[in-house]
Structure formats: C-alpha cells, structure tokens
Structure 1
C-alpha cells in the first residue's frame, strides 16, 4: 500500500476512481469460496483490476495465479514475481510471438496459422512453448469449434516445440441473457459440459489435457461446477459493475468500483454537466442499451451523453443539482474503466485511505 494521507472524499480532485475496500475483500472472499465449493482452481482475470494490490489480495485468498489479456499485463505480473499465468490471447505477429516465447507462459491457440510461427520461434530459442486450445462455446469470437478441436490438436501435435496443456473458453455470450437468469444458468452449464467433453475427447485420443478452464463472472455459479472442469477465470467479480447488476449477477451492495465526479455546470433546465466524461468512464456500452453508468447517489438520473471530459446528466431531479455537488457513478463495465486510469483511491466509508497504482495498461 502506498503512503497516503487519508482524506475525506470531498477533498479529492475529481474525477477520481474509487475502490471500496470492504466490498472488494468481500467479493474476493466469496469468489474464492465459490471456486472451492466447485472443486476448481481460481485463476482470476487480471484485466479486471490491473492492480497489483488487488492481485495480492486475490492470491492471499487462494487464487493460483492470473489470466492476462495483454503482454503488458503479463509483464507487470512477472516483474512482481507472479509467474503462474495464462495469456488468454493468440500471439500473432513477430513482436507478440517473440514476447510469448521469452515470457514462457501458456498462450491461447485456435489455429495452425497461429501455432506455426510460435513453434518456429520456440524451436529457434531452444524452448517448448506451452499453449491451450481455445474453444468457442458460444461467444462467436476467437476459438475453434468444439467439433474441430480434436483435428486441430492432431495438427498441433506435429509441432514438437509446442506443448499442449489443456483447453480454455470464454463464455462472454452469457452477457446477452438480460432478464433471463434461468437461461443464463442453463447456457453456463452447457459451456462447462461442452468444454469438458472436448477435453475428454482429446485425452481419449492420447493428447494431454490437464487444464480445462472456463472464464466469466456471470458463469461462475454454473460452468465451473460441471464435472471435468478444473479451473475458473472470472474477473469482473472483484468490483462488479452496472452491467453485472442488470444481469442479476450481483446487487448494488457488492459493487466496489465507482467514479467520483462533481457537477461543474448547470447551463439550462433539464441537464447538469459533470467532470467525468469518456476518459473517466470509457465508452463501454450498457447491456440495457444506453448511458455511460449508473448515478449511485441519485438513480433517477440518467448519464445519457459524454464527451472526453464532460458527462451530461438528465432525468428526474436533475434541476436540484448545484455546481460543486459530488456524485458517484457506477460504470457499465469495470474492466474498461480501470484501463482509463493510472491510479485508484481506496475508500473506507467516506474517507480515502490509500492510493493504489494501476499497471499493465496499453
């Protein structure tokens, strides 16, 4: 924890990124207990916090290591002495291939086209590069189709400088089940069943498959509980956000990340301008379809529009706002907001008690 003189929130410069320490710790404890009850290892996604102070709390509560989205995240964790990592990304292009081989952490592979340059670089370096086959279980992004995974594994086995560790997936499509928790839970269970089935097929054909890794916060109560799944990679749970609240994954009382902002102008009736814009909130969309976050203090307001450094609030009660009023905004997607900041203030009650750096940013 960095040296920091505690200060009331009213004394902080705005906008400011806030982390509620008590809620953060509770979220970490609950996900750790959930993973333990499922009998799986917990490998949180570092992109959700990009903060080594948060990462150390997660390790203290049983996380085995971390999932990374970028080379910068891998670097930040390796330099901090945290080595049990998975880079859940296809390292394509000379710079990423070189970095992957030098880092030596498992990466995601979903095609021979991704694998061949990686294998050549590993051979030239006299190393074996660990990898996991990424399987598309419904998101429709990266990943091999489940029915094609065995054929891909056979092709990759012909590249001796690569070492198969297992399979992974990201069930991001669960975010589409707004207002349908039973449907989301059914889809999450199916993800685990499909991935465990792929792993069993690979093993039956003689391929090693130690790791069977699912990854999402909405799916954390379902996919990891399927027999055969060995690892969960939830990330957003450390803070939660307004999208997770809308999905029913968490209530407002569990959200730990907000942006503190001030009203800086009330130029006309029906609108108030705050000093948190796109550079504070990111442009990540709401699953509800509009807005840049939830005004926690006054939920009747709508954060309807944003420029780089300004946000526009409208809705019932907006005319009661005055220049200088403090508000807290719950972001749509915490991961995107964290990446906008270089530091966060840790809050206990209405007092900022610490300032934690954010690292591994683009």
Structure 2
C-alpha cells in the first residue's frame, strides 16, 4: 500500500470508513421507513461509489446530465431518473435513444419543454416515462402547485409521453435560518407533494412516483406519508456546507483535498498548491472560507486557480507541510477531478476514476 504522505499534491481523497458508514446509515433510514432511495450521482460521478450505493439497497440513481445517463446505462444501471429539463434538439434526440435502451425517466415542467420531446418520441415509436416537476419553494424548475393539475393533464395527453408521478427539489431548505425550521420546511414540502399526488390520482392519473430530493431535507421530506422516494446526493461525502446546515458533523465528512504548503514568504500567510481548480469556487461567505482545514488552526481564506491562501497567525505551518481540506461543496469539487484516492487511515487503498464530467 501507498501512504497518503507519498501522494502527489494536490490530490482528492475519500475516507472509505466514512463513505461506507454514510451509505449504510442513509440506506438503513430509508429502508426502515419503506421509502425508496435514489441517490444523486452528481456528487461522486464514480462507479465505485455508485456500486456501493446500489449494493446497500438504492433502487436506482438520479442524474443531472446526458453524460451521467449515458455512463450509467453503459455500466448496466437500469433505473435512472434524469432530473433536468431535456430541452433542445440534442437532448431530445438523446432521450429518445436512451429510452430505447430502457430504464430512463425524465423530468418535465411545461408544455413548452414537453412538446418537442412528445413529437420526437411519437415519430420514433417510443414512449418516454416522465415525472412532472413541482416548485415547492426553491423556484428553480417546476410548475407551481396550483398549476399542477392543469399541467399534468396537458402533458399526460401528449403522444409519446407517459406520466409516472411528481418530482421536486426542495433546495430552498438550505436557506432556512436554523435546523428546526429546515426540518419543518422539509416535512411541509413532502406533505405538499403527497397531497398533489392524491389530487392527480383523483383526476384519474396513475401516480406511482412521488420523489423529493436534497441532502439537507433527507431526514424530513422523504418521510412525509405518501412520498415514495428520496434523492439525496451529498450525503455520501458530506461537506462544509452540510456541516453548516446541520446535516452532518465533521466526523461524517469523507471527502478531502490533500495539499502542500509551497510558500511562507509572508508571515501568517502560507500558500498551498490547491486553489479553486482543486476546490471549486464555492465559498461560505459568512465564514470567509474556501474550505475547512483539518487538524490545524489555519483558515482557508482565499484562492486563485492553482494557489490557496491560508491564514495561520501562529505560524505553525512550514514549506512542505501537508494539509487536508474538507471542501465547501463536494459535488462541485468532484467535477474538478478525473480521479480520487480511496484511503483507510493513512494508507491509500485504491485509485478510483471520476466519470461523466463536463
């Protein structure tokens, strides 16, 4: 085995003990409640992680991009939900071909988004399963709740499409002022989705899927009666943002960036060899943080592309010292890398590839 200290810097690391614990804990909570778990693959983009999630009981995976859909279909994952709007001729054509291969459901929220897909699917002689996306507060994609019955009726009547259910991303939970408010908002979002599904069933629609999705809401929204599945993603690794939101503790964070101090020319201002191309550009403005430095009083306060600026007023860090940093946003950080190292303790166990990057 290789020691972590022998790795090149910067490197992306995942702690296997924490990863496996995170996967098992979330899978256990969902299984106990009888709710399906459909993790979002954008967090890891790593087949070694996806296989562990499926082995733990995940019913399928959630995707953000065509590249993720194609990659997982090629890997034999047969139950995929593409939680993004398939708008534009290339994406429409991609959906038709992917549905031919089987196992893909897409998300739609309007006639404008659905009509071209309907026409292409009907012309190709395929039926595209879809879920209607609902805005439960995040106001990104999704029909507003009062419009759901009418939009569902319109889209369900289109040729080449089949309505399976409803989907939401309760992303607004990340803006709640405290954890009790976040939990309450998650329960409200889940209850709203279940109520809307009941209304559509009363209108004659065969609603089999009621899908909610976020890591901050993973302990609340999926467990509202009537919700059938949840789609958390970040939970496999967690990150500094999730610590701030109360979704986890530092001991749950499995993903770190390994970096080395390359300069201490300015007192109290060490420079490391990991900048925004290693960490992503997500910052926690209130904390003035580019990432959370482990086992040190130093703060990661700024970054250029390949350089990170630490604040170390006590001068504990010297040129050549190594530091490990928990990223603010695990998903954005993953997309910066082509591979990572799976570690246990201080030892490197395997190198894992990261796929389907933009």
TM-score with structure 2 setting the length: 0.97
2:201 matched to which residue of 1? 203
Contact 1:344 1:355 in 2 (8 A): yes
- How do 1:220-231 and structure 2 match up within 5 A? 220-231=218-229
Tell me, yes or no, if structure 1 residue 97 matches structure 2 residue 96. Answer: no
Distance, in Å, in 1 between the alignment partners of 2:52 and 2:276 is: 29
Q: Which runs of 5+ in 1 are unaligned?
A: 1-5
Deviation by residue 1:263-290 (Cα, 9 ceiling, x = unmatched): 0111211201000101100001327453
Please list, as runs of the form range in 1=range in 2, the aligned pairs for 1:18-57 lying within 5 A after superposition.
Answer: 18-57=13-52
Tell me the residue number matched to 2:294: 296
Tell me the distance in 2 between the aligned counterparts of 1:133 and 1:257. 33
The answer to whether residue 290 in structure 2 is matched with residue 305 in structure 1 is no
Task: Tell me the equivalent position of 1:167.
Answer: 166
The CA distance in 2 between the partners of 1:62 and 1:106, in whole Å, is: 19
Per the alignment, residue 350 of structure 1 pairs with 346
SS of 2:265's equivalent?
A: strand
In the aligned structure 2, how far is the partner of 1:163 from the partner of 1:285? 41
Question: Aligned pair in 2 of structure 1 residues 34, 292: CA closer, same or farther (>3 Å)?
Answer: same
The number of equivalent residue pairs is: 354
**Pairwise CA distance, 1:91:** 0.5
- Structure 1 residue ranges, 4+ long, deviating more than 4 angstroms after superposition: none
Partner of 2:337: 341
Taking the aligned partners of 2:17 and 2:289, their CA distance within structure 1 comes to 27
Give 1:329's aligned residue: 325
CA contact (8 A) 1:292 1:305 kept: yes
What CA deviation, in whole Å up to 9, does each residue of 1:283-306 have, x standing for no partner? Answer: 0132745321100121x3221111
Q: Using the alignment, how far apart are the partners of 2:26 and 2:192 within structure 1?
A: 23
Aligned counterparts of 2:264 and 2:283: Cα–Cα separation in 1: 26
- Is the CA contact 2:269–2:313 (under 8 Å) kept in the aligned structure 1? no
| Structure-2 separation of matches of 1:326 and 1:184 | 37
Q: SS of the residue aligned with 2:256?
A: strand
Q: How does 1:33-182 map to 2 (within 5 A)?
A: 33-104=28-99, 105-178=104-177, 180-182=178-180
Q: What is the rounded CA distance, in whole Å, between the counterparts of 2:225 and 2:283 in structure 1?
A: 34
What is the CA–CA distance in structure 1 between the aligned matches of 2:356 and 2:238, rounded to whole Å? Answer: 20
Task: Using the TM superposition, give the Cα deviation of residue 39 of structure 1 relative to its aligned residue in structure 2, in angstroms.
Answer: 1.4
Q: Deviations over 1:190-225 (max 9, x none)?
A: 010111111111111011210000101111111111
In the TM superposition, what are the counterparts of 1:186-201 in structure 2 within 5 Å? Answer: 186-201=184-199
Q: Which moved more, 1:284-293 or 1:162-171?
A: 284-293
- Whole-angstrom distance in 2 between the partners of 1:155 and 1:126: 20
**1:14 and 2:24 equivalent?**
no
Task: Output the TM-score relative to the length of structure 1.
Answer: 0.96
DSSP-derived class of the 2:42 partner: helix
Deviation at 1:83, TM superposition (A): 1.4
Cα distance per residue 1:12-64 (max 9 Å; x no partner): 00000000001000000000011112211100000011000000000110001
Secondary structure of the residue aligned to 1:106 is strand
Root-mean-square deviation (Å): 1.0
